[in-house]
Amino acid sequence: MLKILSPTAILGYGFPDTSLEAGMRQKPDVLAVDGGSTDPGPFYLGSGKPFVSRQGVKHDLERLLKAQVQARIPLIIGTAGGSGARPHLDWTLDIIREIARQQKMSFRLGVIPADFTHAEVTLALEENRLSPLANVPPPTRGDIDASTHIVAQMGSEPVVAALKEGYDLIICGRCYDPVPFAALALVRDMDPGLALHMGKILECAAIAALPGSGSDCVMGLLDDHGFILESLNPTRRFTRVSVAAHSLYEKSDPLSLPGPGGVLDLSGVTYQELDRGRVRVQGSRFIADTTYRIKLEAARLVGYRTISIAGIRDPLLIVSLDDILERVKRQCLPGMDPRARIHFHVYGKNGVMGPLEPHPQPAHELGLVMEVMAPEQASADSACALLRSTLLHFGFPGRLTTAGNLAFPYSPSDFAVGAAYEFSLYHLMEVADPRANFPLSCLEIHP
C-alpha cells in the first residue's frame, strides 16, 4: 500500500495544522502538492508573476518542509509559482532558500524546468510537430515570436527520474497536474491508470470531499487493484457521488482525460463507499498514445487595461441599456486613441456568460464594468475616463437622475490594471523523448 498525502489544492492556499499532523501520523510515503496551472488566465504566465501570495506560499512551505525533514520522505511540488515558467520556479526556490536559512535546514533539491525557447518551438512548427487543441487556431511563427514565456506540461518521466535519484525535494516547472501524486507509484511499477486517476483527484486536495475545500489535507492509499481516498479532517468525508462528480472538474469529457503520452480512460471505473467517509476507486485505465505529445502554453502582451466599476438602478436606463451603451461607445470613439478597444461587462444580466447567457433578463440593479484596452497605459486611462464621464451624464428619454446615471463604489472611479495578456500557444507538440526537454539538475541548499 502506497500512501500519498496532498495538503492543499494549490501551494499557498493554506491547510489546518491538525489535518497535516493527522496525515503525518499515518506515515505517508510522499508529500505532493500542486503549485498552479493556467486556470487564473494568461496574465501570470505572460508576466512571470505568481498568482498566490508570497506570504501564503512561505507559510505552507515552512510546515511542509518541517514535515518532510522529520519523516524523511520526498516532497514534490508541481507547476511551481503558479504557472511554472522559469521566473515562477526561481521565485519558489528563493522562498525555500529563505526558509532553509531561517530554520537552519538543508535540502538536496531536484529542479526540473519546463521552459522552451522560441527556436525550439519554431523548429517544431517547421517540422509539422505542432497541432492545435479544439477551438484553437493553428500555430503561426508570429504566435511563437510574440510569446513571452513558453512552457510545456511535463509528464511523469522527468519526475520519476528525479525520484530515482533520491532527492529530498523535487521542484517542477509546468507539470501535468496529477504527476506529482502519481510519480512514486510509477517508480514502483504500479498501475499508471490508477496512479494518474488518484493524482487527478489528489491534486485538488479536499475539493472532491464534502464539504469541499481547496484548503485542507487528504490521503490517497494506492494498491495494485485500486485506491482509497480519505479526508484528514473529521469534518469532511468522501462519497461515491462527490468523487465521481470530480471527473467533471475542468473536463468536457468526464470519461476520457488526455495527458502527456496518453489518455486516462474512466469508462469502467467503480466507486465504493467505505467506513469513516472513505471511498475506494477501481477500474481506471491508462491508454498510451503511439506518438508522445506534450501541451505547450504561452501568452503574449496585447496592451494595457483600465477599468471603471459602477452600479445602475434606474429602471429606464436598465431597460434600454444595450442601446445606450452602443450609443455612448459611438460617441466616444472619435475622441479616443483609434487603437483602443472598449468592452462592457453587465453583471446582473450577462456579465458572467456574455452572449452564451440563456436567460439574459436584467435584474432590478446592475453592476457595470467598463473596460478599455490600448497599446499604452496612458491611452487606456484617457479613453476610460472619456467613456465613464460620457455614460455618467448621457441623456436618454424619461431620465430623472440628471445628476448622474451611475453609482461608483470607489473613488477614484477608474483603475489602471496594467499589462494584459492573451494565450498565444495552447498546442500539442510531438516529442521523441519525454525527458529530453525537461533537464534535471541538482541544487544543494544549506542554512
pLDDT, residue 439, reads 97
Question: What mean pLDDT do residues 47-65 have?
Answer: 97
Q: How confident is the model at residue 248 (pLDDT cuts 50, 70, 90)?
A: confident
Average confidence (pLDDT) over 18-47:
96
Q: Give the three cell numbers for residue 53.
A: 501570495
What residues have CB less than 8 Å from 241, skipping those under 6 apart? none
Share of the chain above pLDDT 90, in %: 90
Residue 373 one-letter amino acid = M
- Among 3.30.70, 3.30.2000, 3.40.5, 3.40.30, what is the CATH number of 301-424? 3.30.70
Q: What is the pLDDT of residue 150?
A: 98
Across 32-48, average pLDDT: 94
Residue 415: is its pLDDT beyond 90? yes
Residue 196 in this model has a pLDDT that exceeds 90: yes
Q: pLDDT tens-digit profile of 295-313?
A: 999 999 999 999 999 999 9
Phi, psi of 136 (to 5 degrees): -120, 130
* Cα(174)–Cα(159) distance, integer angstroms: 12
- Residue 346 confidence (pLDDT): 95
Predicted confidence at residue 214, as pLDDT, reads: 96
> Backbone dihedral region of 347: left (phi > 0), alpha (psi from -120 to 50 degrees) or beta?
beta
Q: Are 88 and 173 in contact (CB under 8 A)?
A: yes
Mean pLDDT in residue range 416-433: 97
pLDDT tens profile 145-187: 999 999 999 999 999 999 999 999 999 999 999 999 999 999 9
The backbone torsions φ and ψ at residue 430, rounded to the nearest 5 degrees and listed phi first, read: -75, 135
Query: What confidence tens digit (pLDDT) does each residue in 274-297 have?
Result: 999 999 999 999 999 999 999 999
- DSSP-derived letter for residue 223 is -
- Within the chain, which residue ranges are assigned CATH 3.30.70? 301-424
Least confident range from 25-34, 78-87, 168-177, 358-367: namely: 358-367
Q: β-strand 227-231 against 169-172: which pairing, if any?
A: unpaired
pLDDT on residue 369: 98
107: burial class by Cβ within 10 Å (0-12, 13-18, 19+)?
buried
CA 134 to mean position of chain CA atoms: 19
Q: How confident is the model at residue 125 (pLDDT cuts 50, 70, 90)?
A: very high
Which strands make up the sheet holding 262-265, listed edge to edge? 256-259, 262-265, 285-288
pLDDT given for residue 44 in this prediction: 97
- Asked if residue 352 has pLDDT above 90, the reply is no
Per-residue pLDDT at 138 exceeds 80 = yes
More confidently predicted of 397 and 8: 8
* pLDDT of 446 above 90: no
- If you average pLDDT over every residue of the chain, what do you get? 95
187/247: higher pLDDT: 187
pTM for this predicted structure: 0.94
| Confidence category of residue 350, pLDDT binned at 50, 70, 90 | confident
**Which of 114, 44, 128 is CA-nearest to residue 441?**
114
Name the more confident of 446 and 177.
177
Give percent above pLDDT 70 in the chain: 100
pLDDT reading at 250 higher than 80: no
Q: Tell me what pLDDT residue 351 has.
A: 85
Q: Report how far residue 379's alpha carbon sits from residue 374's, in angstroms, rounded to the nearest whole number.
A: 6
* 357: pLDDT strictly greater than 90: no
79: left (phi over 0), alpha (psi -120 to 50) or beta: left
Per-residue model confidence (pLDDT) at position 134: 85
- How large is the average pLDDT for residues 418-443? 96
Phi and psi angles of residue 228, each rounded to the nearest 5 degrees, phi first? -115, 135
CB atoms within 10 A of CB 392: 16
